């Protein structure tokens, strides 16, 4: 347990990793295609969501740290944009593990999770499923770039203040808390909202959970 926690903390505090995510943020701030950040703030948000979800499902701490390692490296390949960033992140992580003599049980699950985190909805890899879910759920306003705030559909995420998750009696409850100014129709019509719902449904199906999604206090369905 101490080994995997130590590996996680070393990656979390590695200046090389931090500098690369800073580079990604600068690139996205100067890009016309960066609708949402893949920066270190996003990485921390996804990590916290994954930890929260897995804790609520009673996964052990060692497994949770493995999932958190996948979170730390899942977007590291975005230095030149989102295109092919999942496979680039996988290649970086694989090389990073080799160069730093990092090895642990289930390392292949972690690498696969990074590799398929964009669209791997049908996988049975639990680390991948929870990473995909958390990654898609991180659409609150702090993630949306200035360009993203001008894109029809995407701009609606800038009205999301927070995301709350609860799991009880095999029911996954997700609540998007807004500032009250969101256009629900535009939100529903946007392609990425459909990906969010697909991630929720895929995770629920694989873990045999029911799910209820709320937009504030109203049930949200597509």
For residue 197, give both structure tokens: 């719902």
Neighbours of 193 (CB within 10 A): 20
Nearest by Cα to 163 from 46, 34, 21:
46
Percent of the chain with pLDDT over 90: 92
pLDDT per position as a tens digit, 19-50: 999 999 999 988 877 899 999 999 999 999 99
- Residue 86 main-chain phi, psi, to 5 deg: -65, -45
Which residues are CB-neighbours of 83 under 8 A, at least 6 positions away?
none
139, 166, 197 from 144: Cα distances, Å: 7, 24, 19
- What is the spatial distance between Cα 86 and Cα 111, in angstroms, rounded to a whole number? 10
- What is the spatial distance between Cα 29 and Cα 23, in angstroms, rounded to a whole number? 10
Structure confidence at residue 82 (pLDDT): 80
**Reported pTM:** 0.95
Which homologous superfamily does the CATH classification assign to the domain defined by 2-158?
Hypothetical protein af1432 (1.10.3210.10)
Quick one: DSSP state of residue 36? B
pLDDT per position as a tens digit, 164-221: 999 999 999 999 999 999 999 999 999 999 999 999 999 999 999 999 999 999 999 9
For residue 141, give both structure tokens: 């306003």
The ranges assigned to domains in the chain are 2-158
pLDDT per position as a tens digit, 128-164: 999 999 999 999 999 999 999 999 999 999 999 999 9
3-class DSSP state of 173 = strand
For residue 86, give both structure tokens: 């999942």
pLDDT higher than threshold 70 for residue 2: no
Nearest by Cα to 165 from 176, 181, 180, 153:
176
Instruction: Kindly indicate the confidence band of residue 80, based on its pLDDT and cuts at 50, 70 and 90.
Output: confident
């Amino acid at each position: 347990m101490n080994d995997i926690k130590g590996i996680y903390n070393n990656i979390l505090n590695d200046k090389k990793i931090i500098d690369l995510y800073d580079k990604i943020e600068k690139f996205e701030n100067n890009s016309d295609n960066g609708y949402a950040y893949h920066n270190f703030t996003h990485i921390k948000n996804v990590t916290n969501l994954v930890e929260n979800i897995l804790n609520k499902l009673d996964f052990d701490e060692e497994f949770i740290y493995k999932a958190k390692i996948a979170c730390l490296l899942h977007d590291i390949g975005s230095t030149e944009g989102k295109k092919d960033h999942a496979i680039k992140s996988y290649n970086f992580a694989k090389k990073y593990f080799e160069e730093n003599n990092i090895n642990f049980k289930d390392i292949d699950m972690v690498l696969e999770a990074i590799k398929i985190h964009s669209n791997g909805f049908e996988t049975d890899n639990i680390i991948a499923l929870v990473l995909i879910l958390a990654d898609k759920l991180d659409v609150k306003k702090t993630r949306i770039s200035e360009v993203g705030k001008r894109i029809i559909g995407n701009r609606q995420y800038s009205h999301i203040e927070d995301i709350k998750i609860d799991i009880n009696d095999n029911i996954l409850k997700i609540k998007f808390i807004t500032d009250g100014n969101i256009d629900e129709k535009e939100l529903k019509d946007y392609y990425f909202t459909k990906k969010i719902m697909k991630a929720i449904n895929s995770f629920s199906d694989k873990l045999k959970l029911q799910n209820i999604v709320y937009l504030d206090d109203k049930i949200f369905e597509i």
